[in-house]
Amino acid sequence: MKWEDRERSQNVDDRRESSGDNGGSRGLPSMGMMMFVWPLIRPLLRTKTGWLIIGIGALLYFSGFNPLKFVGMDSSSGTTVANKAEDDKQATFISTVLSDTEHVWQDIFMQTYGKNYTKPQVVLYRGSTHSGCGGASAEMGPFYCPTDAKVYVDLGFFDELAQKHGATGDFTKAYVLAHEIGHHIQNLQGTLDKAHSFQASNSKTDSNAVQVRIELQADCYSGVWANQAQKRYRMLEAGDIEEALNAASAIGDDVLQKQAQGYVSPDSFTHGSAAQRSEWFKRGFEQGTLEACNTFK
């Protein structure tokens, strides 16, 4: 995917260096973090000065400051100076793709509704942070919060996507972000409010079925964005669409359930099967219109 040297969005809240900060204070560090910093702490336990350093470090940590910055590490994610350049490159990529989505959806909203597109903000973090919808953690993966109209992206999710699911490449990341922006589009359209009202008064099975339609439409909107962005920027390279289709398939409910529990339970799907997710992204990309994305028929 061609993306370098293009405009970047200013609507990015980069919290990578303060991830784990929940309004100025932090909870107890995780076991993983303790194992990570233990080699640093162990020699300090041998002297009174070392204990003093540990005490000051703990005070800074629980006050919301990152004491491991002094030794070139990010306390929340284990990011070292050695791979900080790659981390920063990912952040730049996200801000570039976000800018692409802003221009594309501005055009679509003006043509379709005759009004300006309200841009969302993207929050970048590693480990954990807070959102208008509650706590955000790496385990949740990227998500959209309609309460504050922000997309939350833990950059570690892309590492997991590549390592556990074999979904790699820049366009895989672009697809994921565009999917979450798709939820913002649904929020602006009023679709999310209608879906949530239905889910509040219906069975779990029916609620799940509606949620699947919501997610598939976001996949389709991601495809619409790719269609329109390609016309505007000519950014696609050989294999890019296959990357998106592979990512969509890799995180299909049937695939994830099979991996986790050895069997598939369609009534508990919340995002759609691998085939459905790929199909709706492809439909959005091939047709490039909002009308192509009516998953509620």
User: Could you tell me the residue range of the domain that residue 84 belongs to?
Assistant: 80-293
Q: Apex CA 85: angle with CA 74 and CA 9, to 5°?
A: 95
Is 114 in the same domain as 65?
no
In the predicted structure, residue 198 carries a pLDDT above the cut 60 = yes
**Digit-coded pLDDT (tens) for 20-76:** 544 444 455 544 445 445 666 777 778 878 788 878 877 766 665 555 555 444 444
Say if residue 260's pLDDT is above 70.
Answer: yes
Say whether both 285 and 188 belong to one domain. Answer: yes
Q: Are residues 195 and 92 in the same domain?
A: yes
145 and 250 together in one domain: yes
CB 270 within 8 A of CB 205: no
Same domain, 51 and 116: no
Q: What is the spatial distance between Cα 20 and Cα 139, in angstroms, rounded to a whole number?
A: 13
For residue 67, what pLDDT is reported?
Answer: 58
Residues 52 and 88 in one domain: no
CA angle 246, 86, 100 (to 5 degrees): 60
pLDDT above 70 (res 272): yes
- The pTM assigned to this predicted structure is 0.80
Same-domain pairing of 66 and 198: no
123 and 37 co-located in one domain: no
201 located within any domain = yes
Is 9 part of any domain? no
**2 is written with which tokens?**
């061609």
Q: Nearest-CA neighbor of 15 among 169, 137, 119, 123?
A: 123
* pLDDT in the model for residue 165: 85
Q: What is the structure's pLDDT at 20? A: 55
User: What band does 130 get if pLDDT is binned at 50, 70 and 90?
Assistant: very high
149 touches 186 (CB < 8 A): no
Q: In the chain, how many domains are there?
A: 2
Does the pLDDT of residue 258 top 50, yes or no?
yes
Shortest CA distance to 158 belongs to which of 126, 123, 130, 121? 126
| Pairing verdict, β 150-154 and 121-125 | parallel
Q: Report the range of poorest mean pLDDT among 27-31, 75-79, 122-126, 284-288.
A: 75-79
State the CB neighbour count (10 A cutoff) for residue 187.
Answer: 18
160 shares its domain with 178: yes
User: In which band, very low, low, confident or very high, does the pLDDT at 265 lie, cut at 50, 70 and 90?
Assistant: very high
If asked whether residues 156 and 28 sit together in one domain, one would say no
Is the model more confident about 128 or about 119? 119
Indicate whether 63 and 87 sit together in one domain.
Answer: no
Residue 10 within any structural domain of the chain: no
